[in-house]
Structure 1
Amino acid sequence: MSFLSAEGVSHGYSPRRSLLRRRPAQPVLSEVSLEIEPGETLGLLGRSGCGKSTLARLLTGLETPSLGTVRFQGNALSSLDKPGWQAFRRQVQMVFQDPQNAVNPRLTVSDIISEPLIHLTDLDRAQQPARVAELLDAVGLARRFARRYPFELSGGQLQRVCIARALAPRPSLIVLDEAVSNLDLHLQLQMLELFTALQRDVGVAFLFVTHDLRLVERFCSRVLVMGAGRLVEDRPVTSPLTLTSPEGQALFQAVLPAFPVQMTSLRERLPLESVS
């Protein structure tokens, strides 16, 4: 049984209503089926507007497909009761591309990371600060950042707070929706090292939504390619990465330069943030 799957999923969004007529929904996804196995690192590649982020939101239960079924450990999300949703939320976490819109600006970093600890774990309030400190260490932020507010952090720092929040309940799957795109190259590698260690040590699975072929080749074991709302290619990741679909070839035309040789080892560790 797959950990998370989509079966014939289609979805669309209704445009703004006209005063004269009701316009039909614009299709975004069409008959998408996929499976994510426990402990797998799956890449989801595609150009902007192809439906990657919409698919990620459907898989994490943030939206409901117009047609088809999303299943968690064999059970349709639409059939989950309250305990089932609690288990799903604990085991499936998501990190969004835009960290500014993913956090409450009135909460401190400690409060942001503690949210899933309060609602999805059995840790009492006395135990939560130690877990927050552990998570800040994991994403390379100094512990003093726990007292800061989002406006006091850079975009890259705030994204690492969001990654720490996703890690907090010890999930079985993390969906990364362009989650390292706004980090610099050093921090991208540091986060990939962290994700690789989590997969090795505790078997976390990842769905890595991106347009960056370099990161897929570095991090993923299997890759799906999307084009115009459909999955057009499914293949194991090789080095060098080979894609045969027209959509995959188009991504190669816009590929970023290779990682510098001196930065290709994921064993490199970076110091904690030194910003006061």
Structure 2
Amino acid sequence: MSLLVATNISRSYSRLSLVGSAKPKLALEQVSIAVEAGETLALLGRSGCGKSTLVRLLAGLEKPDSGEVRFEGKPLARLSKPERAVFRRSVQMVFQDSFGAVDPRCTIGEIIAEPLRHLLGLNAKACAARTAELLWKVGLEPGETKKLPQQMSGGQLQRVCIARALAPQPRLVILDEAVSNVDLHQQVQLLDLFDRLARDTHVAWLFVTHDLRLVERFCSRIVVMDAGRICEETVVARPLQLASATGRALQEAILPALPHVLTPKPVPGSGDRL
């Protein structure tokens, strides 16, 4: 059984114009996709193709106009309260804008501890211990807990958001353009981090992007979207060969080369399962 499955989901958004209501904008049309336990899946497409709408539906942040999303075979719309709590722990997201995804008034420790308190019910002592462990996991020092978000770099704060997503021990982490706002050096560091976390855990990763360099480095399967529909699905081979017009256009885009792979600094406890 697949971990998370969307079947024939569609989603439109109402629009307003100067003369009143306009025709709704169709963001997704009859899309079906499955995420398997433990896999690294890429959702690829140009900006505006519907990727972010799809992942919001998969994460239960929005409801489809038609079709359904199932978690472990159960429709999200019919989950009981305890089942929904399990789903919220199991599916976590890391957004593109790390500064917009956190409360600037909270310390780093409070940001990471939030899901530990609300989703796992840990007390203050257990939260502090788990927060320190998670910071080690993502390559940050436990002493960073006292800092505010504005005292962190973009790459550091994205690591904090990853630590927060991993806090409730999810089964799937959705990375929505999670490395596109940092420079190439930080992109490589974050990809090294994802590689290590994928080896050390059984977490599935859904990597939403338009950048094939990152897909080739990190993912095992790829889904290509265009204009609200899926136009191609294939395994990631080297060299990557895409058959759809959208996939070929993305392959032909001129992007700067990724820097050489860095040798990551050893992280205490990095071999421990989350």
What's the CA shift for 1:122?
A: 4.3
**Residues 176 and 207, structure 1, Cα contact 8 Å, conserved in 2:** yes
Mapped partners of 2:100, 2:197: distance in 1? 26
Mapped partners of 1:257, 1:156: distance in 2? 19
Superposed counterparts of 1:136-151, under 5 Å:
136-151=135-150
- The unaligned stretches of length 5 or more in structure 2 are 268-274
Pick aligned residue for 1:269 from 264, 267, 272: 264
Q: Identify the residue that residue 251 of structure 1 maps to in structure 2.
A: 250
Specify the SS of the correspondent of 2:9.
strand
Q: Percent of counterpart pairs with the same letter? A: 56
Superposed counterparts of 1:1-276, under 5 Å:
1-16=1-16, 20-260=19-259, 262-263=260-261, 268-270=263-265
Specify the SS of the correspondent of 1:30.
strand
Tell me which moved more, 176-185 or 64-73. 176-185
1:81-136 per-position Cα deviation (integer Å, ceiling 9, x unaligned): 21111100101000000112211111111000001100112432111112111111
What's the CA shift for 1:240?
A: 1.2
Mapped partners of 2:197, 2:172: distance in 1? 11
1:146-176 per-position Cα deviation (integer Å, ceiling 9, x unaligned): 1111122222222111111001111110000
Specify the SS of the correspondent of 1:234.
strand
Mapped partners of 2:233, 2:45: distance in 1? 12
TM-score w.r.t. structure 1 length? 0.91
How many positions carry a matched residue from both structures?
Answer: 267
**Residues 213 and 255, structure 1, Cα contact 8 Å, conserved in 2:** no
**Residues 90 and 169, structure 1, Cα contact 8 Å, conserved in 2:** yes
Mapped partners of 2:99, 2:196: distance in 1? 27
Structure 1 residues 191 and 156: CA distance shift in structure 2, 3 A: closer
Mapped partners of 1:45, 1:255: distance in 2? 16
The letter of the residue matching 1:192 is L
What's the CA shift for 1:177?
A: 0.2
**Residues 155 and 182, structure 2, Cα contact 8 Å, conserved in 1:** yes
TM-score w.r.t. structure 2 length? 0.92
What's the CA shift for 1:271?
A: 7.7
**Residues 212 and 255, structure 1, Cα contact 8 Å, conserved in 2:** no
Mapped partners of 1:82, 1:11: distance in 2? 25
Mapped partners of 1:73, 1:197: distance in 2? 26
Mapped partners of 1:116, 1:252: distance in 2? 38
Specify the SS of the correspondent of 1:104.
coil
